[in-house]
A and B are shown apart, each in its own frame.
Chain A
Amino acid sequence: MTRIKRLLALLPVFLLAITPVCFTSCKNSGSEKEAGDQGTAAVDIPASVEEIAVERGLSPKDVIAALKTYIPSGKYDDYVMFASGGHSGQVFVIGVPSMRLLKTIGVFTPEPWQGWATGSAESQEILSEGDMPRGINKKLTWADVHHPSLSETNGDYDGQFLFVNDKANARVAVIDLRDFETKQIIKNPNTISDHGASFVTPNTEYVIETTQYSTPLPFDEYAGMDEYKEKYRGLATFHKFDREKGRIDESQSFSIELPPYWQDLCDAGKKVSDGWAFCNSINSEMATGGINEGNPPYEAGISQREADYLHVFNWRKAEQVFKEGKAKDLNGQYIIPLDTAIAEGLIYFMTIPKSPHGVDVSPNGNFIVASGKLDTHATVYSFEKIMDAIKNNKVEGKDPFGVPILNFADVMEKQVEIGLGPLHTQFDNEGNAYTSVFVESTLAKWKLGPPDYDGPDAWTVVEKIPVQYNIGHVVCAEGDTVAPDGKYCVALNKWSIDRFLPVGPLHPQNFQLIDISGKNMQLLYDMPIGVGEPHYVQMVKADKLKPWLVYPEVGFNPMTMSVDPEAAAIGNERIVRNGDTVEVWMSVIRSHFNPEHISVKEGDKVIMHLTNVERARDATHGFAIDGYNVNLSLEPGESSTVEFTADKPGVFPFYCTEFCSALHLEMMGYLLVQPTQPKS
């Protein structure tokens, strides 16, 4: 009680202190907002605040946490997180520090509100690009989204594009952050699972994707487990990104054949290490499991050795080798054979203890931090030493496939004792690293060493904060770029156990916001994620994002990002029959569709081009046809097409699925499907 009183007495001072900061940041982040909408914080704290704190049982720490996270109505967050949606196949957009969910982006799975894969021809076409290759008759209806990666310019987030992978099916998607919509899905033609994706090179020249579980290449070739070493392989794929087109260009992409270790997470070098990429791997044992056949289970077989291999790729040189025609075409994918990669000096290994997982390049690009899940250290490699070892052939041997293994002592800068189960590392702007520690359920803050930090406590853990529970990845503000911000980290916890109201045996995941700006880390907020298991997240300054508020022109097709020549417009609405095809050009505006009556015959093919001709911000309309499994989202200016066969006779209302105006319920029409044969 006394502590709360003391705290509340200090509140006016605190608020006065933060007011100029808040005013400045709010002014910046709220530049699109109307004048007068951004007020400054009040400084008179009524006595009732204390009563509320006492009544709700809030401690002084709780009150401070609330003050640090509360965003008043109408004001904006300072940061935006893009979180992988895990099993949902989507991406979550979350404001920081409020931890408010701003949007769910449909990517690999339907998202009906946005009309994603619920009838629009455009989204169906993009999704079908990610179908299984070579006519394999398996429709993919879910995805396991793991790692989002924002596009970068000079190693810094530029807020233009986002890439995500689907571990379950080896797919990579491109999202355009002008409209926060998915534009492209690539199915890797030769591998069936990936994990080291998506990670971009410093100027988004390439999007990196590496195999997780090795298979024969291509994956639909058969080879038994007894042929594992001979026939199974991994791939590191460098997808060429055409920023102007906003698409991956597979004709300019290349892959490097890899031994059948299970390639894991990756990070691209930056600054001094630009041109290189680093990917962890497990299963250098090449264990093939088979618990049912009396063999050690994978979890034991794969952790037999004390070390695995951190892969070091010279991607810049590999690009040159690819351009020289030394890659082989396999199902449209250009693969540099492993022998060639070794001979050309494109790949080296470094030993890394033990069952490694995360690998993260420090902001200046001079250190590569890798952690073994079953080791207690973060092992820090020096890029300078790596280059020296390569140049002077300081190798301790070769792996069974002939890949040179750089001498550990010659490339290792330091091993920092972190704790039990270190996984992933992010950075701040003061020479600190933050490593998630899974078994301990902590976030460990530790100091880098010279030249990034030169204090007496270099290379030591300086603080740990418990998190609830079993942290996987961690994200800090711009914490994997060349210019981290500090301020916040978020622990991405796998288990929540007792942190939220029970909702059945399937518990939410738990995002925990941590303030890292002070001397000590402070836990601020728990955010339940009940839609899937997010893995990685990136946190970008909100003012780097410049999304459209409406589409630039009426009739805009989000797939082509240009005006659709088939777009309907006011005055050219029409219905045209051509044989068994009925084509409709329909305008959409508050509060009507035009045309409102569409009469077709059973069996007709129906093609509808709909355009929302509104220019007002947030004047979105939906378009659902009852019984035909169709729902579109038509945002202001957007044009979309829906195609279907009118195979069900009868009368089917169509209506707007957004409450768009007072007469929203009246915004409807009828699809009249005349039967070819009258009912007897």
Chain B
Amino acid sequence: MNTLNIRISYVAIVLLGVLCMTAGFSLAADPSAWKDSAVSWQKQAKDTRVVVVGVADELGKTGDKGNADVKGLIQDAVAWLGEGDKNMAAADEAMTKEDYEKATNEYNMAWQYYVKAATAGLNAKSILGGL
């Protein structure tokens, strides 16, 4: 396993850990559970964002090495990150207004974007490993 693969595995393990920590069986369909759900999704989204930023930092150090595919993936990752951040902001605002259903939806959406960003980032790193 080369260095890059080890790095990718490390990132994957960290992401895995984040997801595991937040996995559970608290079902959010019951309206009375919206607050718990919002808090849970808030943590999941924020934790995942930390990992995505970590991947982005690593890619920032290596750069795209002039590879157009890597460049495209980094652009995508940055774009997804930005989209996620918009939802995070909306979610935080909803939390302050105690609109937990909206907050849940926004945090959830943010998390979806962060996962997309992570996918693009990991693909970019995989390509860099082959260069």
Contact = CB atoms under 8 A, between A and B. Distances in A.
B104 A304 contact: yes
A281 to B, nearest CB: 15
Nearest to B5: A466
Majority SS of interface residues in chain B? helix
Contacts of A301: 105
Interface residues of A, number: 37
A299 interface: yes
Contacts of B5: 466
Contacts of A148: none
Contact of A305 (B19, B29, B119, B123): B29
Contacts of B66: none
A442 B16 CA distance: 13
A470 B123 contact: yes
Given A285-B29, A306-B28, A469-B123, A498 B67 contact: yes
A376 B69 CA distance: 27
Contacts of A470: 119, 123
A340 to B, nearest CB: 26
Interface residues of B, number: 33
B103 to A, nearest CB: 11
Contacts of B24: 306
A378 to B, nearest CB: 13
A469 B123 CA distance: 7
A53 interface: no
A303 B12 contact: no
A311 interface: no
A652 interface: no
Nearest to B115: A439
A374 interface: yes
A468 B67 CA distance: 16
A305 B28 contact: yes
Residue among A305, A307, A376 facing the most chain B CB atoms (10 A cut-off): A376
Interface in B100-131: 104-105, 108-109, 112, 115, 118-119, 122-123, 126-127, 129-130
Interface string B23-42: 11111110000000100000
24 contacts: A296-B105, A299-B112, A300-B108, A301-B105, A304-B105, A304-B108, A306-B26, A353-B23, A374-B19, A376-B19, A376-B20, A439-B15, A439-B119, A439-B122, A440-B12, A441-B126, A442-B12, A466-B5, A466-B126, A468-B130, A470-B119, A495-B123, A497-B73, A497-B123
Given A466-B126, A466-B129, A497-B123, 14 more contacts: A303-B112, A304-B28, A304-B37, A305-B28, A306-B24, A306-B28, A376-B23, A421-B119, A439-B12, A441-B122, A442-B12, A468-B126, A470-B123, A498-B127
